[in-house]
Amino acid sequence: MMAKNNGLQSSPANHHPCPPGQARVEGTGRTTRTCSTQDDISEGQRGAPSNGGEQPPASAFQGRRTLARIARLVLVLRDWASRSLHEEQQKPDPFLERFQGTEFQAVAARIASDLQDEDTEEGNKRKKWQIFVVDPAGDGYYCWLSVIAVPVLYNWCLLIARACFNDLQETYVVLWLVLDYVSDSIYIGDIVIRLRTGFLEQGLLVKNTKKLRDNYIHTLQFKLDVLSILPTDLAYFTVGLHCPELRFNRLLRFSRMFEFFNRTETRTSHPNIFRISNLVLYILVIIHWNACIYYAISKAIGLGKDSWVYPNITDPEYSNLTLGYVYCLYWSTLTLTTIGETPPPVTDEEYLFVIFDFLIGVLIFATIVGNVGSMISNMNATRAEFQAKVDAIKHYMQFHKVSKDVETKVIKWFDYVWTNKKAVDEREVLKNLPDKLRAEIAINVHLETLKKVRIFQNCEADLLVELVLKLRPQVFSPGDYICRKGDIGKEMYIIKEGKLAVVGDDGTTQYALLTAGSCFGEISILNIKGSKMGNRRTANIRSLGYSDLFCLSKEDLMEAVTEYPDAKKILEERGREILIKEGLLDESATEESTEGKSMEERLDSLALNLDTLHTRFGRVLTEYNYAQKKLKQRIAVLESQMRQQDLEDFSDSSDSLLEDEVKALLGGTP
């Protein structure tokens, strides 16, 4: 069985004896076999001994075991040697690769990849745990934040209540133990997740284990997380199970709850509602803590000792746990919101606590008023801005005494725009986004409509993207003329919603009906040569009801198709087909325009070449002037050096002459 697993096959030819210690190689493959292996296989195949079923002695079994171990060792060494040999064989020879054909190289690469598959799978399994990195921007991380926020909120709400209300702790002690240690397990898992949470470095997610660990360990949050899971509840063995104050260190994990709230506010589609809910939660937690502290102070002073503290629990009316908590919560709400009367304090401690509560209550009230006011103003900001525009137009129409019919039409148009949520200026909203994101949003919003347009079908995707960014939405009222026959065309229109009619000059005769996805006005802005209408409108288009259109100006279309000459030709050909179908194309004028166009192209090419030559000549002239200037500077430097050298030579010669004269005078003196 061992031989089979290692790729060996038994055959009669394989069982003849061979010299001891000598190995035999079978075929040209990797499979080799030793004599000891063959002996072991033959012994295993023979099964029971031939001496009438007698069992062999123990020494024979020990010999077989030893032989099997040796065979196993030889097989391991053989596999290692063959693997090393093949790794050397797989190394490409750059000299031979120049002469190998592509087919041969493909076959060799396929064989090498097959041999490396097993090693790759093993390496992937080994490294799988190393590449486990949590993306902080992913959905998995957000889901984990929602999980860890639950035990954090549990500890913040129930630990203080269990510490202050003894009946609550003693009645459900088993439940609290289970919930406590489940939350501790989640806390520990959160530390593991933090150790594997990636961060961005130069825009890329870091996956290096050491960097991730150092990035977390060297922060204050790591110290707080470690403190939050310290096993302080081991003191239960000393003080008993009814002391939840020992677990107050679990409150240090509050940052995870805040992080969950911040990410939820970013992800939710209704941020204002979430902000209000979040604010209410914070207020309830503060009121809850204040109620628990009030009950704890009442116990410290003495229940029922005076009128301010909680009544004595010996009274059956106040002995109920639920009633006690509700009473304290009611007192805390009245105190912090300062909207009701409570029993006045008696002792100094009670006065100090009430003063502190009043200060907190004032801050809470100011926070509530400020936050809610800002949230409501943000929620109505769009409406207020829109209403300001409507009021301005109303004042303008009243000042200029516009007719009542026109004023009613304008007001109805504003009502339709606001009711159908078309009052938002897309360009103003998206102006802070980069062009890439703006294009993606515009594609999701408008591309399906643009694809329905006959003239843009089968155009390049990049051209459609560029056109999408140039579309401007417009809304027309019932009876409005979008264009009239004979007008100069400056825009083309694409119908997004609504119905438009092609009408006669009388405005009532209807020739055709245009629905969503139809476009018109493209012929006049393409300026097709040979068109009998030139750049003028060929029909009257009137809106039957409220119509939502996309407008694309001639300048924007020409700017977009400039970079796509093939698309421009396609647009012109399709426009020419439409003109031929409607009998508005002059073939002779088209041919003349084609010839003229070729001449114009030649002139444009000549002008372009002249501009290029002029530019090159100007560059050469600039270089010449620069070189001439440098040469003049060099000549000036050389001249100054020559003058200085001449002065030095002259001074040396004059000194030598003076010395000769002095010597001559001294020599001639008697």
Comparing 162-166, 268-272, 304-308, 454-458, which segment has the lowest mean pLDDT?
Answer: 454-458
Cβ atoms of 41 and 3 within 8 Å: the answer is yes
pLDDT band at 49 (very low <50, low <70, confident <90, very high): very low
Residue 303 token pair = 């229940």
Tens digit of pLDDT for each residue in 541-559? Answer: 999 888 888 888 888 888 8
Task: Flag whether pLDDT at 193 surpasses 70.
Answer: yes
Residues 6+ positions from 354 with CB-CB distance below 8 Å: 335, 345
Residue 533 to residue 394: CA distance in whole angstroms: 40
Q: What is the mean pLDDT of residues 604-618?
A: 81
Residue 64 to residue 68: CA distance in whole angstroms: 6
pLDDT at 648: 74
- Residue 501 pairs with which residues in a beta bridge? 513, 542
Label the pairing between strands 510-514 and 500-503: antiparallel
Residue 399 to residue 393: CA distance in whole angstroms: 10
Comparing 227-236, 262-271, 474-483, 526-535, which segment has the lowest mean pLDDT?
Answer: 526-535
Could you count the other beta carbons within 10 Å of the beta carbon of residue 364?
A: 18
Could you count the other beta carbons within 10 Å of the beta carbon of residue 55?
A: 10
Tens digit of pLDDT for each residue in 443-492? Answer: 777 767 766 766 666 667 777 777 778 888 888 988 888 888 888 888 88
Residue 384 token pair = 């207020």
Instruction: Identify the sign of the CA torsion 589, 590, 594, 600.
Output: positive
What H or E segment, with its residue span, contains residue 647? helix 587-668
Residue 239 to residue 233: CA distance in whole angstroms: 10
pLDDT at 388: 87
Residues 6+ positions from 588 with CB-CB distance below 8 Å: 530
Of 69, 88, 78, 83, residue with least CA distance to 122: 83
Look up tokens 């977390």; give the residue.
216
Total-model pTM: 0.56
Cβ atoms of 468 and 406 within 8 Å: the answer is no
For residue 10, which amino acid is it? S
Could you count the other beta carbons within 10 Å of the beta carbon of residue 456?
A: 20
Task: Flag whether pLDDT at 39 surpasses 70.
Answer: no
Of 164, 159, 180, residue with least CA distance to 325: 164
Residue 81 token pair = 């040697």
Choose from 58-72, 100-114, 355-369, 653-667 the range with maximum mean pLDDT.
355-369
Tens digit of pLDDT for each residue in 73-82? Answer: 767 766 766 6
DSSP 16: S
Residue 375 to residue 69: CA distance in whole angstroms: 80
Q: What is the mean pLDDT of residues 509-535?
A: 77
Residue 19 token pair = 């010299």
